[in-house]
Chains A and B, each alone.
Chain A
Amino acid sequence: MTEFTTLDLVGTITAALLTVMVLSYLLGDNIFFRFAVYLFIGVAAGYAGSIAWHNVIWPGLIDPLVSQELAGFLQPSNIVTVIVPWLLTILLLLKVSPATSRYGGLPLALLVGVGAAVVVGGAISGTLIPQSLAAMGTLTPSTLLPQAGEELIVWLERIISAIIMLLATITILMYFRFTTRRGVTGEARRSKLERIAAVIGQVFIAITFGVMYAGALAATVVILIERIQFLRDVVSSLLTG
């Protein structure tokens, strides 16, 4: 029990010291801040490697070889689950050497291609189509007309919200419209309506970024407070014994 408490105390003190080291960046770049940063990077990489070994490499590649004999390893059922992963892994490892790096193109292409397909497919089916339908749905009469028993202020709020949402969507899309005529000096030439819509879109984008920045600022304030409270708890526990 005592040993555990001591280890826990050491860990807490170490955490407090590292926190102070990181906060020392307020005074400028210094060796303590760098030491803490390098330590975090090293620990994170080591921990990630450990997790990859225990959760991916061992159960996926090593364990099938160790647990099964050669006859079982060469079974047809293991071709896809064991042999192909091993083959792809070896090919990917060939990327280390420039002389053999071209052989690693196959697993790399597989990774990139499958990943891109998953992301694009998910974006289309999970974001683009549902969000487009949702934006169009805000203009349906059943949505715009007041519901039975709905208060006027609630209905107005819904109408204004739908109008703002639609206006923001259109103007931001027009701001990101890049297919325009080129001017004399190569700049994009837009009509006056397009320019006005683009300016409005810029305003909405600025508001969005402002909200995100405010949220990030609030989040960091929360994190700072949590760290300050941690330091206070450590100091108080050390002082009180």
Chain B
Amino acid sequence: MADIRCPMCSKSNPEDAEICGICGARLKPLVIDQPPQEQLSGQSEEPRTEQGAEQEEGLDWLGRIRAEAESEVPKDEIEPEETTDEAGSPDWLGRLREVDITADEGPPNGEVPDWLSAFSEDIGEVREPEGEEQGWLDRIREKNETEAAESEEEAEPVDDWLARLREEEELVPESLGADEITPEEFPLPAEIPAEEEVEEQVISPIEPMDISIEPSEAAPLEVVEDEEALPEPLDILPELTEVAPPAVPSDVELPSEVEGEVEEVDARVDEFEKSIEDELPHVPALILDEEAVGEQTPDLDLDSIQLPGWLNELRETTPQEEVPGEDVSQDLAPATLPSWLEAMRPIETFRSVVEIESMDEQVVESAGPLAGLQGVLMAEPVIAIPRAATVGAARLEVTERQYAQAELLHRIVEEEDQERPAATVRRIRLPFLRWVIGFLLIIAVMLPTVLSFKSGEGFPLPSYMPRDLGTLFSVVEEIPPERPVLTVFDYAPGYAGELNTVAGPLLEHIILRGLKVVTVSTQPTGSPLAEGLLSRVGVNGENYVHLGYLSGGSTAVQLFTASPRETISRGFLLPDDMQSQSGWQSPILQDVLQLSDFSLMVVITASADSARTWVEQAYPWKGETPLVMVLSLGTEPLIRPYYEALEPQVDGILTGLPAAVTYEQYLGRSGDALALWNAFGAGMLTVELILLAGIIYGAALWLFRPSTVETRSEHND
């Protein structure tokens, strides 16, 4: 026999049970056998014709009855209390309907079960909802409580409606089909039409529905010590609809027939429970707290409930037919679960997380198969609890890039875990190699100097003039002598040893030609270096003048090239007669108003940036004035493109000691460059030998290095 496990308490129920025998939760969804939405809508539009068709089909007999009743009474004249009185239904049911239609806040339309929404719509046509902030269900409960109090005072009407109901039962044919009634059409007392109208209706046969909650064979019954706290099976009715009448106090005098039926049912239930207690092991499947059960008992007081006659009849028939209590107690212990299944149930987790709120705070389920129930346990906390997956997870789809990144991250983390070798005490190593190289270089450059080789005795002098030097020489020879030469000293004192030697022949050539030299520098030490170099070949104030330091870097260069006289220049080592004046007051500069007024621009620098700045900034302003660069050997490759372009921005380059020596040779003078030539040759030869030795050493290491395989084997060993 296939049982249905209750979604609320996990207890088994008979297959055809509609509601749980323990907790009263609905086991089957309420939407079963609901007419389609189109039918409902059509019914509202054409009530007369549609209702006639449905009467023939035997469906929704209550709806038809209600529709017939409403059709005869004008909507405007309908008053719920009067209607209920006329129909003979109890007063609390009428008030209940009133509460429903006056509730302005209820569950959304889409979430209300169809049968409940239809119920509300029918009533809603009678009365407009009133604006109240209290929950509609709470108001229902309050109304029920007030009606219960009133019912005590009005015991006579109770008897009256029960009598009327009993009379109605006699009118119902005995051959009611079981399949023509659905759970959602369960007749509520409030929906029972007036007595006169019922007699006129052709009522479809109704078979008493099985609503008794007698435990089935596999029904897991809960054994509690307090038997009075056990919920009665029939008590699910108030829980099911939340619109059920309140329990009638026990002191209300019931009809004798009703009392007899109730006592019979109670006796049968007690007998069944006793048999279970005696014979079955107590293995709770899902243990409900006694307190929680006890909280339900006030609403489930079976003695205090006065049911209509047709309900009592149902209680009489179903328990005997469905589940005899003896069968249940003999074969299968309720709630006896296999150990593996018991272990899989997250009972602890379920209980530790879910807190059962008080009845007032519990929310009424508004949708789904549990619609209308109060105190439904929320599924979200259970779902949100992390737990080990019982089913093997699907394979994670990882892209190649993600995999590579994960590998990279793993590698990085692995490296972090590796222990670093202990810091070894650094052994002081004497820089023998540096000493050797330094010693060789010093010896190489000192020998020619100390031995005072004459020119030509040591290394041979350059035998031909380079092409670049010829161009430079031609430029200097062709400049007009009446205009001064602008010379920029943009190098630090550390490069003076090289650049003074290289630039010396050029400046000497300029002075020999009778050209005046004007110096400027973007470095503070530029002017002293200029003075040190020019003082060898000329006289300050006569052959040259220092404009001094040009502050501002590239901006100052741009300003100077655009408008030289606007730059601030205090001059440097001006002649005595010009101490209070600017360098621009010198007679050398009297005809110079702009950059193109200079006959030649010479930039002496060891910095590629400085050289590039002067090239870039002076190019638009220099006009036909040639630009010559005296460069350090390390800077020359970066400036040569300006010189070798089809339209050169640099008209001449002088760099390196060999070029200077050639220049001096061309001038026919023996200067500093020629004095350094032998030492330079010896030093460069030494450097080349050292480089060659280094190359040989490196090649030897590469050739005789241990193979990779051997290295790996050594590491493995």
Contact = CB atoms under 8 A, between A and B. Distances in A.
Interface of A: 26-28, 44, 47-48, 51-52, 54-56, 58-60, 114-115, 118-119, 122-123, 125-127, 130-131, 133-134, 137-138, 143, 184-186, 208, 211-219, 221-229, 232
Q: Which 10 A-B pairs have the closest CB atoms?
A: A126-B616, A215-B633, A226-B497, A216-B634, A122-B616, A134-B645, A223-B497, A51-B524, A215-B634, A26-B438
B400 interface: yes
Contact of A215 (B446, B616, B635): B635
11 contacts: A44-B525, A123-B612, A125-B620, A126-B616, A130-B619, A131-B645, A134-B645, A215-B637, A225-B445, A225-B676, A225-B683
Given A122-B617, A223-B495, A59 B570 contact: yes
Given A51-B549, A221-B680, A222-B498, A184 B404 contact: yes
B638 interface: yes
Interface in B383-414: 400-401, 404-405, 408
Interface stretch (B211-219, B301-309, B550-558): B550-558
A114 B633 contact: no
B495 A219 contact: yes
Task: Choose among B497, B617, B672, B684 the residue with the greatest number of A CB atoms under 10 Å from its CB.
Answer: B497
Chain B at the A interface: mostly helix, strand, loop or mixed?
Answer: helix
B355 to A, nearest CB: 50
B524 A59 contact: no
B441 interface: yes
Nearest to A111: B555
Contacts of B131: none
B568 interface: yes
Contacts of A215: 632-637, 655-656
Contacts of A54: 570
B434 A26 contact: yes
Interface residues of B, number: 64
Interface string B559-580: 0000000001110000000000
Given A27-B435, A56-B568, A232-B449, A222 B637 contact: no
A147 to B, nearest CB: 14
B633 A219 contact: yes
A58 B571 CA distance: 13
Nearest to B405: A185
Contacts of A224: 441-442, 445, 683
B450 interface: yes
A14 B620 CA distance: 46
Contacts of B687: 217, 221
Task: Choose among B442, B495, B498, B638 the residue with the greatest number of A CB atoms under 10 Å from its CB.
Answer: B498
Interface string B623-644: 0000000001111111001100
Interface string B677-693: 00110011001000000
Interface in B446-500: 446, 449-450, 494-495, 497-498
A52 B195 CA distance: 118
Contacts of A60: 568
B401 A184 contact: yes
Contact of A55 (B497, B525, B549, B635): B549
A52 B524 CA distance: 8
B67 interface: no
A115 B551 CA distance: 13
Contacts of A143: 646
A219 B492 CA distance: 14
A204 B676 CA distance: 32
A228 B495 contact: no
B558 A122 contact: yes
Contact of B501 (A56, A208, A222): A222
A97 B498 CA distance: 43
B684 A221 contact: yes
Contact of A229 (B449, B494, B555): B449
Nearest to A57: B551
Interface string B79-100: 0000000000000000000000
B646 A228 contact: no
A187 to B, nearest CB: 10
Given A118-B558, A223-B497, A59 B656 contact: no
A55 B568 contact: yes
Contacts of B641: 131, 134
B675 interface: yes
Nearest to A211: B637
Given A26-B435, A55-B570, A218-B657, A122 B684 contact: no
B442 A122 contact: no
A185 B404 contact: yes
A9 B684 CA distance: 32
Contacts of A211: 637
Nearest to A126: B616
A47 B525 contact: yes
Nearest to B673: A222
A15 to B, nearest CB: 11
B649 interface: yes
Given A127-B616, A130-B649, A218-B656, A115 B449 contact: no
B441 A126 contact: no
Contact of A228 (B442, B620, B655, B684): B442
A65 to B, nearest CB: 15
Interface string B592-614: 00000000000000100000110
B555 A118 contact: yes
A222 B634 CA distance: 12
A213 to B, nearest CB: 7
Contacts of A127: 612, 615-616, 642
Given A115-B554, A185-B408, A228-B446, A223 B498 contact: yes
Contacts of B441: 221, 224
A138 to B, nearest CB: 7
Contacts of A229: 449, 675-676, 679
B77 interface: no
B189 interface: no
Nearest to B686: A221
Task: Choose among A119, A126, A143, A221 the residue with the greatest number of B CB atoms under 10 Å from its CB.
Answer: A221
A83 B649 CA distance: 39
B540 to A, nearest CB: 17
Given A28-B431, A184-B400, A222-B680, A115 B634 contact: no
A58 to B, nearest CB: 8
B647 interface: yes
B336 to A, nearest CB: 58
Given A126-B617, A218-B656, 12 more contacts: A27-B435, A122-B613, A215-B634, A215-B635, A215-B656, A216-B632, A217-B687, A218-B684, A219-B634, A221-B680, A222-B680, A229-B676
Nearest to B402: A184
A217 to B, nearest CB: 6
A122 B683 contact: no
A138 B676 contact: no
A33 B637 CA distance: 32
Nearest to A44: B525
Contacts of A138: 646
B548 interface: yes
B680 A227 contact: no
Contacts of A218: 633, 656-657, 680, 684
Nearest to A49: B524
Contacts of B408: 185
A124 to B, nearest CB: 9
A48 B527 CA distance: 12
A184 B634 CA distance: 41
A27 B642 CA distance: 42
B619 A126 contact: yes
Nearest to A50: B524
A219 B638 CA distance: 15
A162 to B, nearest CB: 10
Nearest to B439: A26
A226 B684 contact: no
Contact of B638 (A44, A212, A228): A212
Contacts of A214: 633
